[in-house]
A = this chain, B = another copy of it.
Amino acid sequence: MSQRPALGPGAEFDAIRSMVARLGVSATGIGDDAAVITVPRGERIVASVDSHVDGIHFRRAWLTPREIGRRATVAALSDLAAMAALPLGVLTALEVPNEWQDDMTEIAAGIGDAVDESGTRVVGGNTGRGPVLAINTCVIGHAFTPLYRSGVRSGDVVYVTGRLGGPQDAVREWLRGREASPLSRDRFVRPRARVHEARWLAAAGASAAIDLSDGLVADLQHLAVASGIRLRVDLERIPCIDGVSSREAVASGEEYELIVTSSRPFDIETFRDRFGVELTAIGHASSGDADVELLDRGERVAPPPGHDHFSS
């Protein structure tokens, strides 16, 4: 990290210095104004930026500092997965209030966990003071042929990775002052960026993809609009985690699973064996106005309200 003395010299920032030291194992080329990354010849750069803010995307009581660092970084890496890009590097800009100083080493460890899992490195960053903890992550990847939201064609089958509903279920329980189930907690606290899965799916002929951050119906809507196509999804085929109904699951956001479409069926068994994750056909695309139809045993039903962090 090009750690800015904006933090000033002195003992109060030793925690951040130790964080930078901790990130060293997962960091390369730190210490200049910007990171320098070599791009494989002929590949294109894929880049995204994402913010994770205390009180908006998480609450301190719900996660350890290490989990907070990991989750913020996974959320950003998930945008690369959605494009079937391989990460080249991560840059993290931290806004750090005084009361979080002592946690920065653990937050850095969590950032390190996430980049290690996705086979990448922290290549740059910035630390400064802020009124609330914010972890702003820029991810840079490369892809020969990125997957776009606009690639869905009539007749494509719609797939989703994993089982849905955990994050929303955990947040709902916490907001009611209850314990979340271990399964739901794990899905909120330890999402995975489906980077390797996305490359496999792209190679297997995927036509379009999006990562599941706003809720299944909301993200399907993005796909439908970008592709100018109608998407029809069967509620009873939605893979839900235990204790969550399919209507709840389709509204759950920040899943960081992938929605992928393809004109050819994927080999679901091979996918599951390789990644330990389910891949489920949940619907299909047909010509018509850009829209999402949710079917409950063949009957069209209204979609549940979208995911809006903790506002509901």
Residues from chain B with a CB closer than 8 A to the CB of A306 are 5, 8-9
State whether A128 and B53 are in contact (beta carbons under 8 Å apart), knowing that A36-B146, A44-B36, A47-B91 are contacts in the complex: yes
Residues from chain B with a CB closer than 8 A to the CB of A210 are 33
Binary contact track A118-133/B, C-beta < 8 Å → 1, others 0: 0000011110111110
User: Which residue of B has the minimal Cβ distance to A138?
Assistant: B138
Q: How many residues of A contact B (CB 8 A)?
A: 73
Bound Cα distance from A38 to B41, whole angstroms: 11
Binding site for B on A (CB under 8 A): 2, 4-6, 8-9, 31-39, 41, 43-51, 53, 55-57, 79-80, 82-83, 85, 88-89, 91-95, 123-126, 128-132, 134, 136-141, 143, 146, 148-150, 210-211, 213-214, 218, 226, 306-309, 311
Q: How far is the CB of A62 from chain B (nearest CB, A)?
A: 17
Residue pairs across A and B with Cβ atoms less than 8 A apart, 6 shown, are A34-B47, A39-B39, A39-B44, A49-B136, A134-B136, A138-B138
User: Which residue of B has the minimal Cβ distance to A34?
Assistant: B48
Residues from chain B with a CB closer than 8 A to the CB of A150 are 32
- B55 and A131 contacting across the interface, CB-CB below 8 Å: yes
State whether A46 and B34 are in contact (beta carbons under 8 Å apart), knowing that A129-B309, A134-B130, A214-B6 are contacts in the complex: yes
